[in-house]
Structure 1
Amino acid sequence: MKVLNALLIKYLPEKVRLRILVFGFCCGLLATSFAAVGVGAIINRRAEIAEATWIGPVVARVFEELSSIPEGRRAIATSNFNRANAIQFSLANSENKDTSLSQGNSKVVTNASTLWRTPKITLIVFGEKPRSKLLQTNHPPEDLTARLTFLVSAIARHDKYSKLVLGMPNGDELIVSSPQYWRDRITEVQWLLILISGMVLTGFLYVLGTRKILRPFRYLGEGAISGDKVVTHLSWPKEAREIANRLFREQEEKAEVIEERTRMLTAISHDLRTPATRLRLRAEFVEDEGLKNKILADLDLMLAMTRDAIDFLKGGLEAEEVEFFEIVSLIQSICDDFSDVGMPVTFLPIQYPTLRTTGTVFSSQEKSVPLDSMTKGVMKGRPRALKRAITNLVANAVKYGFQAKVSLTIEPARVLIEVVDRGPGIPEDEMENVLKPFYRLEKSRNRETGGSGLGLSIVSSVIETHHGTFDLINEPVQGLNATIDLPRSIDLP
């Protein structure tokens, strides 16, 4: 295998276009070979059948000559008419019968007539019965030459080892065989099936080979979507290796830029703490209470924006491990935290799937069977990240929508979380924009104080890492419905 890989790397073209052309040429050559062999074999078979017609007049002449030779000399004279494998004659009488003839399937072709020169002809086919349609002829029985000329071609069409037996006037049998023309061989139908099978096999090989050549590009696409590093191979096309190297460099540059920004903001946040502390202490000496509160509010806003930016660049996950947790307890604790400080947050009753039964012959009444006892709220994920995402949604609903109603639907394969408020909603043309980082929608949500514009971006990022979906839907009358749909059985990266 290593030697084969080395040869492929050494002699295969580097570019994918040339590889496909070379492989297509090889498949075309293979298909042409199948076609040439099949068509050539069919043409050769038909040529042999046409060529075999010369045996008919020879057999008729040999029969006539042997009929005129005295019986004592016929056995010796018969062997003189043999012509290698083309045609062979043997004479059998009651004393030296050919026992091999009993192994074939016999069919009387021509019955003897009143003329002694028109013999009884019997066809012996080994392996199958003669096809009667090929043996039918309009030649009169007395025309022995024409009869045998048609018959030898018909025997050749059987593609089976055959013998022809002619009855002599004295009761002897002239046995005629032709190993060259009357033999077992592949028929036209079989050659046609071989040809078609070869063409289908070639097409199948071409499809598999093309998929093999283009497989590196599929790996590159999967790696670009998942963000994982793609390990290249020397046997890959040049274009695939170049794309892989470019993607790898871009991923490294992107990671380096994000890491550099994170370090910068972390350093800024750390450096701001000291002057912020001094400003907070100096603000205490301000006699104007209103001015002091504004200074403290600005300091809190500045530090909160810096902290949110750092959390967003880190993905909000803090390298959290995947674990099993109870989603009901998580959401209940979030709602309790808001309610404890007087926020209008309501946790609605949990919705479980219900099994409905139809009526039977014993009772026509329909019944609904709740499955809450069999459906638990345990799921797999990153609980701290999910808690932060749901907390952001509830905080936004309270801040901009005046209240938050949280509902939870637990199904065997998924968990549906909805946070509904009574605010003005979001314009339809801004639904995608609000998910972008640092995008602030102040007018449509009537915000009195500005945030960092990262709350919904963090929610979208967390839900995406859990292979779920996050949708914002305006209520028919008033309010916004933030919906999170999470699968319960998943393999997280």
Structure 2
Amino acid sequence: MSAAFVTGGLSVWLWTQSSANWRAHQSAAYVAGVTLYDALQNGTAPPTGVTINPLPPAGQSLAALGQFRQIEGAASSSRITVIPISADITPQRAGAPLTLVIVSPDITYSVADLPNRDGQTAAETTGAVTRKFASFCSDPIVLGKMGDQPWVRIDGPSVWGCAASPSDWRLPAIILAVLTMGGLITVALNLPTDFTSFAHQLRNRRRVGGPSQYDATGPQELREIVTAVNTYLEVERDQLASRAAVLSGVSHDLGTPATRLRLRTALIPDACLRQKFENDIDAMTGIIESVLTYTNAEMNSEAPRRLSLTSLVDAIVADYQDVGRPVMLEQGKDVIVQGGRSIFMSRQGQGVVPPEQDIIVVARPVSLQRAITNLIENALKYGRRAHVLLHATAETATIVIEDEGTQTSAREIEALMDPFQRGDNTSTIEGHGLGLTIVATIAKLHGGSLAFEDSSRGVAARLEIQRN
């Protein structure tokens, strides 16, 4: 920003300085023109830098015939501008009219824009003409004729020639100002881009395995936000690590008394009572293992990688079928993909993606396998069969697991996604109320969601994840 202000000030200074130099140059040419008229009319000394010389006889003859291009020093392709200047008429005397002929190699001077006001003298008109000479970079041949006097050649390269023109820095000033404005606009546009980019990274950090901390770059406000976020992430990691350490320690410490309880339970002669003790011990250890699984999912310790979701689902279903479990993989439908518009067609085209095409995703295979397995287990627990369907779009992939014959609605199941929530009809079914919570957490890690909907067979669980 400081550099932009400096360069902006420099461009303004260059513009104003060049404008002032040109105004001074044109003013000097105007004064020279006023003095020149008096010199032509009265025979006084011409202005400094201007010489007045009569044309030779041959030049006089050519000028009288209007053949100005044939005068010595003029090119045959020169452009001729004739400027008649009326004489001043006063009660005391009447002056002679002045005719100026400008033979320029590249410029035809416009006479229409010369100043013409009431009371304007011939000397002022002559000054306006010489000021116009000084406004352009040209070295014209100037011829003059005062009334019936012979033609004269007026040379003033040091007054209105190219060599007398001051350095014009206005074009570099414009370029510098444009570059400065471009830099300011770039900085201004990058400010929200920096914030948006960081927000995007932070939003997707758990899904794509973001860094443990972010580099504090950009404007001061963004650096302070990044520093605060890094502090929060560090505290969050410490809390999750402490929670996992405590749960792991509790699980380890409970292992020894649980083993002793199992040994002592085996000595109970009453088979019914012994079975109740064993069920309670299994429930205690199962709860600890479920909490550890949920905590590990929250800690996001597994790195994502590129994998075939089609192969993963096929392998999970095949494992269930190998042990005789009623799990079926349904054949997906063709996916219709909208194409983009082209310059040749205003209507969007469509494409069909066959269902057998391999679906590639960037995901955490172990976590994703656990989520799919939990949903299949729920479908088998509360229904007779589990039907698995896989379909995808360009952005997302969805695993649909539909049970068969369950009496529970989708709304009731969605209410059980909070930790340790179980339905009224689950008293005879094993579980600890963390399965759906773990699945929902894994779905969020992959930028997706877990939802349920009623179907013709029962209830369908939809596990949606981002493909990239």
1:260 equivalent in structure 2: 242
> Deviation at 1:398?
2.8
1:424 is aligned, of 404, 408, 420, to 408
Within a 5 Å distance, the mapping from 1:114-193 to structure 2 comes to 117-118=96-97, 120-134=99-113, 145=123, 147-158=125-136, 160-167=138-145, 172-177=151-156, 179-181=158-160, 183=162, 191=170
CA RMSD of aligned residues (A): 4.7
Match of 2:31 in 1: 54
Distance of aligned partners of 1:261 and 1:57 in 2 relative to their CA distance in 1, 3 Å threshold: closer
Query: Scaled by the length of structure 2, what TM-score is found?
Result: 0.71
Hey, what's the Cα distance between the residues in 2 that align with 1:253 and 1:317? Answer: 12
Which of 166, 184, 189 lines up with 1:206 in the alignment? Answer: 184
Q: Look up the match of 1:334.
A: 316
- Return the offset for 1:91: 4.1
For 1:65-464, list aligned pairs within 5 A.
65=42, 81-84=46-49, 87-94=50-57, 98-99=72-73, 104-110=78-84, 117-118=96-97, 120-134=99-113, 145=123, 147-158=125-136, 160-167=138-145, 172-177=151-156, 179-181=158-160, 183=162, 191=170, 198-209=176-187, 221=199, 224-225=202-203, 226=205, 227-230=210-213, 244=226, 246-315=228-297, 325-338=307-320, 344-353=326-335, 371=354, 375-377=357-359, 379=361, 381-400=363-382, 403-409=385-391, 415-421=397-403, 422-427=406-411, 431=414, 435=417, 439-443=419-423, 448-449=428-429, 451-464=431-444
Q: Does 1:63 align with 2:40?
A: yes
Give the 3-state SS of the residue equivalent to 2:112 in structure 1.
helix
Distance apart, 1:392 and its partner CA: 0.7
1:304-354 deviations in whole A, cap 9, x for unaligned? Answer: 111122222222899666666553443244335445666554332233436
Paired amino acid for 1:81: P
Query: How has the CA–CA distance of structure 1 residues 243 and 376 changed in structure 2, closer, same or farther, with 3 Å as cutoff?
Result: closer
Match of 2:341 in 1: none
Describe the SS at the equivalent of 1:81.
Answer: coil
The verdict on how the C-alpha distance between 1:179 and 1:342 changes in structure 2, with shifts beyond 3 A counting, is same
1:472 has 2:455 as partner: no
Paired with 2:396 and 2:215, the residues of 1 have a C-alpha distance of 37
Matches within 5 A, 1:476-487: 479-487=458-466
> Post-superposition shift, 1:387?
1.7
Of 306-315 and 442-451, the range deviating more from structure 2: 442-451
Contact preservation (8 Å) 1:389, 1:462: yes
Change (3 A) 1:256 1:327: same
Given that 2:439 and 2:450 are in contact with CA atoms closer than 8 Å, whether structure 1 keeps it comes out as: no
- Match of 1:133, SS state, is coil
Please tell me the residue identity of whatever aligns with 2:56.
Answer: N
SS of structure 2 residue aligned to 1:405: strand
CA contact (8 A) 1:463 1:470 kept: yes
- Say whether the 8 Å CA contact 1:400–1:447 is kept in structure 2: no
AA aligned to 2:333 is Q
- Greater alpha carbon shift after TM alignment, 331-340 vs 385-394: 331-340
**How far apart are residue 93 of structure 1 and its match?**
1.9
Which blocks of at least 5 consecutive residues in structure 1 are unaligned? 1-22, 67-76, 357-367
Task: Give CA deviations for 1:473-492 in whole Å, capped at 9, x if unaligned.
Answer: 3327885432233455x4xx
TM-score, normalised relative to structure 1: 0.68
Quote how far apart the aligned CAs of 1:94 are: 4.8
Three-state SS of the structure 2 residue aligned to 1:441 is coil
Indicate conservation of the 8 Å contact 1:325/1:380, yes or no: yes
Q: Is the 8 A contact 1:353 1:411 kept in 2?
A: yes
Which residue identity is paired with 2:103? I
* AA at the equivalent of 2:179: L
Match of 2:211, SS state, is coil
User: Aligned pairs, how many?
Assistant: 429
Cα deviations across residues 60-100 of structure 1 (Å, max 9, x unaligned)? 2322345xxxxxxxxxx9xx63514xx34344425796515
SS in 2 for 1:416: strand
What pairs up with 1:15-34 in 2 under 5 angstroms? 23=1, 27-28=4-5, 30-34=7-11
**Matched letter for residue 371 of structure 2:** A
Structure 2 residues not aligned, in runs of 5+: 60-70, 88-93, 339-350
CA contact (8 A) 1:112 1:119 kept: yes
Once residues 183 and 260 of structure 2 are traced to their aligned partners in structure 1, the CA distance between those partners, rounded to angstroms, is 76
SS at match of 2:433: coil
What residue in structure 2 maps to residue 5 of structure 1? none
Evaluate the alpha carbon distance shift between residue 232 and residue 327 of structure 1 in structure 2; reply closer, same or farther with a 3 A threshold.
Answer: closer
- How far apart are residue 403 of structure 1 and its match? 4.4
